[in-house]
Chains A and B, each alone.
Chain A
Amino acid sequence: DTGVSQDPRHKITKRGQNVTFRCDPISEHNRLYWYRQTLGQGPEFLTYFQNEAQLEKSRLLSDRFSAERPKGSFSTLEIQRTEQGDSAMYLCASSPPRGTGYTFGSGTRLTVV
């Protein structure tokens, strides 16, 4: 297992387009998290899955954002009708059931032009 993988690493899109990001967590980890980070800030929580169930969503996650984790394995984060304010690094992390720290992926950097 090579850790948490995120794809793509970079995405440039025009305002109004839809984008989808993928995260492959560590296979033994049942917990998966999405965070968003802008320059000079710490990661902000977006949503949390335990297995395939989405248990928590931040108020930051507007109705343009949706996340799924079918079969409790990989996860996707979709942003519809992107806005310039969506430009950020989108980070995925996973952890075991009673884990210690999170293992983060390298992130997907989204630029909306």
Chain B
Amino acid sequence: SQKIEQNSEALNIQEGKTATLTCNYTNYSPAYLQWYRQDPGRGPVFLLLIRENEKEKRKERLKVTFDTTLKQSLFHITASQPADSATYLCALPNNNAGNMLTFGGGTRLMVKP
């Protein structure tokens, strides 16, 4: 199964700056990788999926990259806002069948006005 590492320390940035979060994984390279947002006391909310043959994917102010050589994904939020403050989780399929996801521990982002 996959082991996923996300920075457990909170990331504090100033409003308007770009936030960059890192997700590293070991073992086999997955067919895709997903990012979720989680607010306190709520379930995770799906944000983006990037496939192994895609280097980069964008959605509004979000950008995700996927480097299968480095076994790493970067998640960027441009022009960050206080409302972006949350925990961000990356997730990968647990096996080649891709039946369920393994989640990282998440990185908490705090955007200060």
Contact = CB atoms under 8 A, between A and B. Distances in A.
Contacts of A109: 41
Classify the interface of chain B: helix, strand, loop or mixed: strand
Contacts of A56: 99-100
B79 interface: no
B44 interface: yes
Given A42-B104, A93-B43, A106-B43, A48 B99 contact: yes
Interface stretch (A12-20, A66-74, A97-105): A97-105
Given A33-B100, A55-B99, A56-B99, A42 B105 contact: yes
Interface in A78-113: 91, 93, 100-107, 109
Given A43-B103, A48-B100, A55-B99, A101 B43 contact: no
Interface in A23-48: 33, 35, 40-45, 48
Interface of B: 4, 6, 8, 34, 36, 41-47, 49, 89, 91, 94, 99-106
Interface of A: 4, 33, 35, 40-45, 48, 50, 55-56, 91, 93, 100-107, 109
